[in-house]
Structure formats: C-alpha cells, structure tokens
Chains A and B, each alone.
Chain A
Amino acid sequence: MTDTTRETDGPSVDQTPAQREAPEQRTGQHRPPDQRRSTGQRWEVVPAPTRPPAERQRRLDLRSALAVNTGRMAASLSQRLGLGSGGMIGGRLALTLQPSLLERLATGRRVVMVTGTNGKTTTTQMVAEALRAQAPAVSNATGANMLDGHVAALMTKLDAPFAALEVDELHLAQVTERFEPAAILLLNLSRDQLDRVGEVRTVAASLRRALARAPGAQVVANRDDPNIVFAASGHPNVTWVSGGVRWRDDALNCPRCGAFIGDVDRDWRCQCGLARPAADWEVTDTGVLDAAGTHHELALALPGHVNRVNATFALAAALHLGGEEAPALARIRRISQAAGRYDTVRIGGRKVRLLLAKNPASWLEMLDLVSGNDEPLVLVVNSREADGYDVSWLWDVDFEMLRGRPVQVAGDRALDLAVRLRYAQVPATVASTVEVALGGTDGRVPDVIANYTAFRDVLARSRR
C-alpha cells in the first residue's frame, strides 16, 4: 500500500483531554429501549471513572506475543522506509507466525464488524468514535479490511476493550469462523467490480452463512435493501435501520427465490415469505426517528443523506454496546472526513472537496449529494485493477441528474465518461489531469467525485 500519511493519522476529531479519558466501562449493561432512545438532550454528564479504564492487561501466549512483536517491528520498519502505513505488512507477518492470532486478539474484547458495499470506512470510523465515548477502541482506519488488516488494528493497542473493524463483504464469514463479534453492521449490497468480486447474490449468501455462525451477535441491518434483508432475516437479534435505497437494480428480484419484488420502497412481501421488516430506526431529512416515533437530530459535519444512514448504524451499535446516546452522537457529529472522503483539501493550489464513488450505487449517492448545490464539479474515472477494467457501468448511473450543469472530466477513462455525459445532455470538458480540470472551474470550491484508484491518486497528491 502506498497510502498517504493522512490515513494513518486516525480520526479527525478534536478530542478534549476529558474525552480522551475513558469513563467507566459499560459493556453488557443495557438500559431499557425507551430510556435509550427517547432523550432529546444533546449532552449528558459522563460519570467520572470509578476505577481505571477497564483495560485488562492482555496475557498472550509466547508464540502470540512473539508474533505481535515481530509484526509491530515490521510495521514500524515499513513505515520508516516510507512504504506506507505498515499496518498490512505487520498484520500479515504476525498472522503467519501465529495463525490463530486474530481470535486470540479478539477474545475478551467487544468487536463491532462493519460490512456492505458502500460506506464501510466512514461508518467504521463513526463506530470507533462513538465507542471511544466509553473506552478506548482500535480500528482499521486505513481500510485494510481483510484478516491481516484486522490483526494489525487489534495489535495496535492490546488493552483497548473495543474494536471497530471494517470487513470486506466476502471475508465476514472467515471472521465469524474465528470469533463471535459483539455486533455486526450490514449496510447495503450492490454490484461492485463485477468482473472481480462476483454476483450480489453470492455475497448475500456468504453474509447469511457468516451470521449463522454468530448467533449471539447483535446485528444492525438495512431493512430497505432486499439483499441485506435476505442475509440477516434468519438471525435472532436484528435491529433494522431504514435509510431508503437509491440504487434498485440489484434488488428487483427476491434474493431468496428469484420472484419479482418490484418497487422496494413499499412494504413488499415475496411469495416465499421474505418481507421488508418494520424499522427500528428510520432516517429522515435531518435526523432519525426511533421506533417510538421520537425524532433525534443528527446535525452531522459530514454531508448528505448517506451519512445520516451511516451515523444511525453507528449510533445503534454504540447503544447496543452500552453507550449513551448524547456522548456517542457528540463524537460522531464532529467527524469531518474518513480516510479522505468528504475532506476539503488543496490540489495544485486549489481548495476542493473530495468525494469517493466506486460503483453505481455510490455514484448515485454522491450525485444526489452534489445536486443540492451548484458548485463547480470535476468527475474522475479510472479503470485499473481495483476499479474493474470494464466501465460499462457508467451507463447504469443516472448522470441525467446533472443535465445542463457544466462538468470537467478527467482520469484514465475521461473519454468514456464524456461520451456518457454527451448522451445525458450534460456539457462536459475533457481534461488531461485533475489539476487541468480544476483550472477550468471558477473560483469557488469544486466538488471532485472520483472512483477508487482515481480518488486514491488525488488524495495522495493533495494537502490539507
């Protein structure tokens, strides 16, 4: 990985010393739902710790301790040599030396796993922050979301009682084979790099198998996404979040039996019995409604409906792990970027806001987000291995939303994008680089929407 240093900086939340002090650990302590959800107050007094933060000294066997030390050394060496954040290589090495290291490091901690096609990194950061209102939490903030990344994150602080871990959709099953997480968040499922990852249905079935191995976990799942409903419906403890779905083309047919569902915005019930569950949390234009109908303002620093949905998932997870709403929410609110997403940075002397869109569903979310303003817009599309080589998906995205609005395009596949925009009647100018594209915009702060490797490259060239 050749990521920017920013990704290793951790969350961009200003912490007061008081917040950094971990209050009494509340794990396992569940208050009744009415109390938990009906507070309109933004702040509450956090009790002073009655004993030192509940950080147990972790006793590892010799082999595991050796693996952790070697992994840490490799990580720090790799970092010093400028090979990136070093997390991945350290985790991989440690896992090689002690194959059961993941379950050993997870034992005794309360781990929240976050998965889904879109929003994993941002939501994971929100969960980590929300948990930090209670006690220290580690997280794979760099987005290394397979087992070695999880080991790397858990190694960083052996005595942190909490972990928030982003996990690749197809790797959750490997995680629950090794240990049972305290909570599992299932955000959404849609097509993503089809020539690499496989069908949405395959992923849904894999998630379903993963949940079957974790009956004691609290699942928080998106009830508006039929593929997620299918994955979670057999589980005994599910909290359902309703955030709506903008991208429907992967959910027209029942994931269980294949029958036509049609419009997923209503309370559908398939002939096979699969149905849209009732919502425990329903995301609104400004916040979220709980099951009792009480509205909670979210007032996030992060923009858009999509982040209110992510925040609701994080809040639900924090509450299930014994957190208090006000302090958890206060920390979620202050997050202003996640691994560069939504960050305002400088590129070639220009200030821009960075937005990541890596598949049709996330393009729709980001186009929806920018359609609320008329700032200059730069769209960047690459088609490297991590993006998928085929860009036919550009035609699945409703770029018609931008009709009449001038757009600058760049990236390896700028020409494909320009042709798509021509047919959508969006006036587009092709530029050789993002910097050149920015030169074609007026003096305001442009939004730059870029797909995966394009985003990574722009972020690497940017400064805060």
Chain B
Amino acid sequence: MTGERVRIALVLPDLLGTYGDRGNAIVLGQRLRWRGIGSELVTVLSSDDAVPEDCDLYLIGGGEDVAQVAAVRFLRRGGGLTRAVQRGVPVLGICGGLQVLGTTFVTGDGQRHEGLGLVDAATEPGRGRAIGEVTTQATLGGIGVLTGFENHLGRTVLGPGSHALGRVMRGTGNGHAEAEGAVSGHVVCTYLHGPVLARNPKLADLLLEWALGEPLEPLPDPPELTALRTERTRVHVRNRK
C-alpha cells in the first residue's frame, strides 16, 4: 500500500463492465470509509497507455467476446498488472475477467486466445449459457458460503497451479468438478455477479486485508445484508432459466 489511501483500480470498465461490476469498487471504498481508511478509485480506460502497477487492488469485470480479446491485448501492454501480481497485490476477476486472467479462452467463433496466465484456468464455450443463482462453499478460510448470479457460456477447467474459489452447491460455476472460480495466490476469479462483493462482505474484507497487508477490524453486517444472504442462499429460491 502506498501512502495513506488504498488505491483501487477499476480496470477497463469501458470494455469489461457489463454487469454492475463497478459495484465491487463502491463496496470496497465504502467498507474502508466505514473503518476510517481513505481510498482512491483509479479508473483505467482502454484509451490509457497501460495498467499502472502501483495500485493496491485491481478489479476486472466481464464483457462480450470482442471486448475480452481487446482487453487481453491492453492488459499485456507494459506488464504492470503482472508485476503487481508478483508483488502479491490482490486482483479480482469476474466472469470475462476470469477468462482473460486465465491461460487460454475460446471465443464464440471458435478462436483460441492466450490469456494473461495469472490463474491456471482454461475456458471453452459450453453447450448452453449458465444463467441463474449460484451458491458455493468457499475454499478460502473464514469466508463461508458465497452467493451470486451467473450468466456465462464458458466452461472452465482448472490446472494444477490454481484451486477453486468455491465448491458448487447450486448453479453451474466452472461446469467441471463442482468447482467455481479460480484462485492463485492473491488473484481471485469467479463467475459470480451480484456484484459478488456486495453479496459477500467477507470476501471483500479478505481482499482489503491482502491489499493493506494487515487484519481489519470486523464490521457488523447491516440487517438487510444478512437478510439478503439468507434470501439468496435459500434452497427453494427458484433458479429460473
């Protein structure tokens, strides 16, 4: 962390920000503010030169095929993101972000593209779109149940360099071995929208602790958030497709 303020990078919202992904940045900034810690939102657009490497946390959302391909090209430029990851800076990749940060992904036209390789995960199109509520049991300590909404065609296979973020209790997730998401060091990827950090405050705080390099004071969940998590993880909430 540099100076007094946590620098949160919202990476390429113009290309990868289709599903309320900006919300994850709002959640992180506000959870720091509630603890009296300042933050700065650094928006990185495709018109910029490259991703700055001096941020404390990076957020990468999802988008369509063309945007994903353009995003990979941009993210590779200058190597800033890769160097930040090597320093242990946390990165959250959502949906298309997961595919872009992985080793390879295949777009709808059958083309295979190299990802950034920051998580060991390869994605190919599945037979149908996975759309609906997802519940998983997180593999990271202390996080518990994760809840979100998925909407993706890709099916992702994890390699030995990564492990799943959660085990699927409901929904599709990666579509292989009951796994959802991919984690490698402080790079966390998931198909969960919602946005994922709004629905799962413990995951938000874990990323912030990694960014700060120190434990945070716990915040009590507001009652509507507790109720929302209960509502969304209830088994009988229908998963309409």
Residues of A within 8 A of B (CB): 191, 194-195, 199, 249, 252-253, 258, 260, 262, 385, 389-396, 415-416, 418-420, 422-425, 428, 430
11 contacts between A and B (CB under 8 A): A260-B47, A389-B132, A390-B149, A392-B23, A393-B19, A395-B23, A395-B195, A396-B20, A420-B198, A425-B30, A428-B224
Question: Cβ of A419 and Cβ of B225 under 8 Å apart?
Answer: yes
B22 is an interface residue with CB less than 8 A from chain A: yes
Q: Which residues of A contact B225 (CB under 8 A)?
A: 419, 422
Q: 19 other contacts beyond A395-B198, A420-B198, with CB at 8 A cut-off?
A: A194-B18, A194-B151, A195-B151, A249-B13, A262-B45, A262-B47, A390-B19, A390-B151, A392-B19, A392-B23, A393-B20, A416-B228, A418-B228, A419-B198, A422-B224, A423-B27, A425-B30, A428-B224, A430-B227
Ranked 8 nearest A-B pairs via Cβ: A395-B23, A392-B20, A260-B47, A395-B20, A418-B224, A415-B228, A252-B14, A392-B193
Question: Cβ of B46 and Cβ of A260 under 8 Å apart?
Answer: yes
A308 CB to nearest B CB, Å: 29
A445 CB to nearest B CB, Å: 27
Q: Which chain B residues numbered 3 to 38 have a C-beta less than 8 Å away from chain A?
A: 13-15, 17-23, 26-27, 30
Question: Cβ of B30 and Cβ of A423 under 8 Å apart?
Answer: yes
A422 and B227 CA atoms in complex are apart in Å by 13
Q: Which chain B residues numbered 130 to 175 have a C-beta less than 8 Å away from chain A?
A: 131-132, 149, 151
Q: Which residues of B contact A249 (CB under 8 A)?
A: 13-14, 17
* Chain A: CB-nearest residue to B131: A195
Q: Which residues of A contact B47 (CB under 8 A)?
A: 260, 262
B110 is an interface residue with CB less than 8 A from chain A: no
A418 and B225 CA atoms in complex are apart in Å by 8
* Chain B: CB-nearest residue to A414: B224
Q: From A253, A258, A390, A418, name the one whose CB has the most chain B CB atoms within 10 angstroms.
A: A390
A436 CB to nearest B CB, Å: 15
* Chain B: CB-nearest residue to A392: B20
B52 is an interface residue with CB less than 8 A from chain A: no
Question: Cβ of A385 and Cβ of B240 under 8 Å apart?
Answer: yes
A415-B19 contact given A253-B46, A389-B132, CB 8 Å threshold: no
Which among B18, B70, B149, B227 is the interface contact of A389 at CB below 8 angstroms? B149
Question: Cβ of A390 and Cβ of B193 under 8 Å apart?
Answer: yes
* Chain B: CB-nearest residue to A195: B151
A273 and B29 CA atoms in complex are apart in Å by 39
Q: Which residues of B contact A199 (CB under 8 A)?
A: 64
A199 CB to nearest B CB, Å: 6
Q: Which residues of A contact B17 (CB under 8 A)?
A: 249
Q: Which residues of B contact A395 (CB under 8 A)?
A: 20-23, 26, 195, 198
A291 and B162 CA atoms in complex are apart in Å by 61
A194-B19 contact given A260-B14, A385-B240, A419-B198, CB 8 Å threshold: yes
* Chain A: CB-nearest residue to B46: A260
A416 and B23 CA atoms in complex are apart in Å by 12
Question: Cβ of A392 and Cβ of B195 under 8 Å apart?
Answer: yes
* Chain A: CB-nearest residue to B30: A423
B222 is an interface residue with CB less than 8 A from chain A: yes
Q: Which residues of A contact B209 (CB under 8 A)?
A: none
Q: Which residues of B contact A419 (CB under 8 A)?
A: 198-199, 222, 224-225, 228
Question: Cβ of A392 and Cβ of B194 under 8 Å apart?
Answer: yes
B40 is an interface residue with CB less than 8 A from chain A: no
A252 and B22 CA atoms in complex are apart in Å by 15
Question: Cβ of B131 and Cβ of A394 under 8 Å apart?
Answer: no
B21 CB to nearest A CB, Å: 8
Q: Which residues of A contact B131 (CB under 8 A)?
A: 195, 389
Q: Mark B170-204, 1 if CB is under 8 A from A, else 0.
A: 00000000000000000000000111001100000
A252-B20 contact given A389-B131, A415-B224, CB 8 Å threshold: no
Q: From A191, A423, A424, A430, name the one whose CB has the most chain B CB atoms within 10 angstroms.
A: A423
A391 and B227 CA atoms in complex are apart in Å by 16
B222 CB to nearest A CB, Å: 5
Q: Which residues of B contact A385 (CB under 8 A)?
A: 240
A422 and B226 CA atoms in complex are apart in Å by 13
Q: Which residues of B contact A258 (CB under 8 A)?
A: 66, 70
B152 CB to nearest A CB, Å: 11
A262 and B222 CA atoms in complex are apart in Å by 37
Q: From B20, B66, B149, name the one whose CB has the most chain A CB atoms within 10 angstroms.
A: B20
A389 and B219 CA atoms in complex are apart in Å by 30
A79 and B87 CA atoms in complex are apart in Å by 69
A385 and B131 CA atoms in complex are apart in Å by 12
A419 and B132 CA atoms in complex are apart in Å by 20
A191 and B222 CA atoms in complex are apart in Å by 30
Question: Cβ of A430 and Cβ of B224 under 8 Å apart?
Answer: yes
Q: Which residues of B contact A416 (CB under 8 A)?
A: 228
* Chain A: CB-nearest residue to B151: A195
* Chain A: CB-nearest residue to B239: A389
Q: Which residues of A contact B19 (CB under 8 A)?
A: 194, 390, 392-393
Question: Cβ of B14 and Cβ of A415 under 8 Å apart?
Answer: no
Q: Which residues of A contact B70 (CB under 8 A)?
A: 258
A437 and B115 CA atoms in complex are apart in Å by 49
A199 and B228 CA atoms in complex are apart in Å by 29
A241 and B217 CA atoms in complex are apart in Å by 53
A262 and B194 CA atoms in complex are apart in Å by 27
